[in-house]
Structure 1
Amino acid sequence: MWYFMHNKNHSQIFSRTLAAACVIILSVTMAACGSDDDKKSSTNSASNTNGVQMAGVKATGEPGKKPTVTFHTPMTVVNNSYAVLQEGNGAALQKDNHICVQAVAFNAKDGSELMSTWEKNTPDCSMVMNEEGINKTYYDVIKDQKINSTIAFGVNDKNKSKTSYIMVLTLVSQSKSLTRAKGEKVKDIPADLPKVTLGSNGSPSIDFNGYKPGDQLVSQTLIKGSGKKVAETDTIDAHYTGWVMDKDGKPSQFDSSWSQGKAVQFSLQQVVKGWTQGLAGQTVGSQVLLVIPPELGYGNQEKDKIPANSTLYFVVDILYDYGETQTQ
C-alpha cells in the first residue's frame, strides 16, 4: 500500500488530455478519446478485437520527423487495426525500455488533423516495452520495430458521435529506467541527521542517530544523480522506504517498494506535501532522505501503521521522470 499517497483513484492520477490519452491507446487499459462513459464501451469493444492490417494509409517524409499522412476519406476504421507506415532507421527496441512517441491524430471521416504532439515537441514517454505495460495486440506490432518507425493504429470510438480516428505514432527514442540511485555520493551531510545504510541491492535501512525532528521539512540529497531535474508537476518512477519512530525511539518501517520488488510510478501532485516539496528540484538518479513534519504529512490523522502527528522518514531513489502530469 502506498501510505504516502492521497486517497484518490489510481486511474485519476494519470488521466490525460486528448493528445496524451490518444497516445496511450497502446497501454494495457486502453483509452479512447471520448467521454468517460464512452471510454468504457470502447475499451470493452477493443478488448474483443484482434489486430488486423489497415489498408490505404500512407506516410511520407524523413523517418523520425512529423510524417505527411494520406488516406481516402471517409475511411472505415476497425478497432485495433494497424499499419507500419515507415520502417525505422534507429536502434531496435529493447525489452523493458521506456519508449517515447510523437503522435498525430486524424479524423477518419474527413482526414482533418485533430491533435499533434510534434509542434510543441511533447512526446509521451509512458509506454514501457513489455507485455505488462502495453496492450498485447499493439505489443505484437511494435516489438520488432526500430526507433523512428511510424505506425498507424485505428481507434473506432464507440461514443455518441461515432467518431473514428487514425492515430499515427512515431517511436522517437528509448531509455532504461534505473533500478537504484546512481550518481555521486554527497560528502558534506550534516552529522546529526539519521544515518542511511544500503543493502547489496540498494534497499535502505535507517538509524535515527539521536535525531530530534523539528517542524521544518528536511530534504537531504544522499546520492546526486546526473539526470533530468524533477518538477513538482512531474510523474516519476521511484523506489522508497518509509519509517516512523516507535515508542522506544527506534525506526518502525511502514512501507517499502523494495519489499514489493518493484519501483512505483506516481505523480508529485498526488502525494503528501512533504514529497512534493522535498523531491521537486532533485535529479533523476538521486537518492534523497526526507524528514517530513506532520503538517506536511498526515497531520493528526492516523493512517494504518502511521500514528497521528507522526514525523515521516523516507529514503527515495528517483529512477525515471515522465515529465509533467496532465489531468482533465
Structure 2
Amino acid sequence: MRRVLAVLTAMPLIFFAAGCGSDGGATGAASGGSAGVKVAGDLGAKPTLTFPSGTPATKSSYEVIQPGSGTEIKTGDKVIVNLTVWDWDGKTNAAQGSSYDTKAPETISVNEQLPQVLQEGFTKVKHGGRLLAVLANDSVPQQQQQQQSAPAEPTKVFVFDVVGTQPPALKAATGKETGQSIKGVKVDNPGGEKAPTLTTKTGEKPPGELVVKTVIEGTGAKVQPNQTLTVHYTGKIWGTDKQFDSSWERGEAAEFPLSGVIQGWQQGLAGVPVGSRVVMSIPPSLGYGDQEQPNIPANSTLVFVVDVLGAY
C-alpha cells in the first residue's frame, strides 16, 4: 500500500531513515490507547480512533491492542500488514489513508531502519494481532532535526493489523530450465546456489528493442510493478563481454523497488515469477541512453542475467 506510505515522505523518520529511535518505545496503558488514543473496530476491518483533547503527544510510543495468536514476529522478518495512518495535529486529526481502502496490504521489514518503537512493537505481536503506534518528532535523529528547515510534521498515529510474514528470499533461481536464449548471448547454469556465467562477446548486432528470455522458470508469484525485489544479477556490455556489475561477486543479493531502476528492468521483470532466472538485452533507450556511467560507455546495449529471489 505504497500510496498510503507516500504521505510519510515528508517525515523521513517513519520508515526510511536509518538509525531512528525514541526514548525507549514505551507502551501505553493496557486499558486505554497509547498516549490517550483509543482504537475501536474489529480486527480485519478498518479501525477508528478517538483522540484525546489538548496538545498532540510529543513522545513516541506503542501499544499492543490485540496480541494475536499466530506466529511470533522476529527482528529481520518482513511482516505483511493492513495499516491505517492519521495526522494527529490536535485539530482535525485527519486520516491519511488505509490499506483497507486500497485493498493492498503492505510489507514492512522489521529492522534497524524502523523507528525504535516499531522495531520493539512488532516483536510484541503475533500474526492476527493489532498494534497501535504513535510516532512523534522525537523519533527523528538529532542530526536530521538540525538539518530540517521546514516546520516539523504532525505526530503520526498508525494502526497495524498483522496479516502474515513474507517468506525469506531464495538463494538462487529454482525451477525447470527452458532452453531459451538470446542469439549471441550465452548463459551457463551450474546448478544449486552457484552463480550463472554470462557471456556477451559476439559479432551479432544487438537487438534494437528489449528482449527478455526465461532461462529457468520459477513457480512463485509474478512480480508486480510496485513491488520491492530481491535479486542476484550480473551485467555486461553487449559484444565486449565487459562486466560492469555483479551482485554475485559482492556476495550479497540486491534489494530495490522495481519502480526505481532503469526502464529495461521495470519492463523486463514485471510479470516474471519469483524463482526465475531471466536474461535481458536492454537497448540504450531503456538503459542509460547517451549518458556515460561508471564502466558503461554511452549508448551501450546492456545484458543482464537476473535471478528473481523474492518480491514484496
The answer, yes or no, to whether TM exceeds 0.5 is yes
CA–CA separation in structure 2 for the residues paired with 1:107 and 1:295: 42
Q: Indicate the residue corresponding to 1:303 in structure 2.
A: 293
Contact 1:254-1:305 within 8 A present in 2 as well? yes
Q: Indicate the residue corresponding to 2:145 in structure 1.
A: none
Q: Indicate the residue corresponding to 1:294 in structure 2.
A: 284
Contact 2:22-2:115 within 8 A present in 1 as well? no
Matched position secondary structure for 2:288: coil
Residue identity over aligned pairs, in percent, reads 31
Superposed displacement of residue 88, structure 1: 0.8
Superposed displacement of residue 220, structure 1: 0.5
Q: Mark the CA change 1:196 to 1:162 in structure 2 (over 3 Å): closer, same or farther.
A: closer
Residue of structure 2 aligned with 1:156, choices 118, 130, 136: 136
Contact 1:302-1:308 within 8 A present in 2 as well? yes
Q: Indicate the residue corresponding to 1:17 in structure 2.
A: 6
Contact 1:192-1:209 within 8 A present in 2 as well? no
1:279 aligns with 2:279: no
1:29 aligns with 2:17: yes
Q: Mark the CA change 1:23 to 1:170 in structure 2 (over 3 Å): closer, same or farther.
A: farther
Q: Mark the CA change 1:21 to 1:90 in structure 2 (over 3 Å): closer, same or farther.
A: farther
Superposed displacement of residue 85, structure 1: 0.9
Gaps of 5+ in 2: 139-149
Contact 1:26-1:138 within 8 A present in 2 as well? no
Residue of structure 1 aligned with 2:178, choices 177, 187, 199: 187
2:106 partner amino acid = D
Note the alpha carbon deviations across 1:134-192, whole angstroms, 9 max, x for none. 33342122224211221111123587587334221122111123233444324241484
Aligned positions of 1:7-86 closer than 5 A: 16-18=5-7, 27=15, 29=17, 47=21, 49-55=23-29, 56-57=32-33, 58-59=38-39, 61-70=41-50, 72-74=52-54, 76-86=56-66
- How many residues are treated as equivalent by the alignment? 290
Q: Mark the CA change 1:291 to 1:113 in structure 2 (over 3 Å): closer, same or farther.
A: same
Matched position secondary structure for 1:138: helix
Contact 1:244-1:306 within 8 A present in 2 as well? yes
Q: Indicate the residue corresponding to 1:4 in structure 2.
A: none
Note the alpha carbon deviations across 1:39-85, whole angstroms, 9 max, x for none. xxxx9xx7453322223314455444444544543464243211111
Contact 1:225-1:283 within 8 A present in 2 as well? yes
Aligned positions of 1:109-258 closer than 5 A: 109=90, 112=93, 114-115=95-96, 116-125=98-107, 127-131=108-112, 133-157=113-137, 160=151, 163-190=154-181, 192-198=183-189, 200-208=192-200, 210=202, 212=204, 213-245=206-238, 250-258=240-248
Matched position secondary structure for 1:313: strand
Gaps of 5+ in 1: 1-12, 31-42, 323-328
2:23 partner amino acid = T
Contact 1:221-1:288 within 8 A present in 2 as well? yes
Q: Indicate the residue corresponding to 2:72 in structure 1.
A: 92
TM-score (norm 2): 0.77
CA–CA separation in structure 1 for the residues paired with 2:79 and 2:216: 26
CA–CA separation in structure 1 for the residues paired with 2:181 and 2:158: 53
CA–CA separation in structure 2 for the residues paired with 1:117 and 1:23: 19
Contact 1:181-1:225 within 8 A present in 2 as well? no
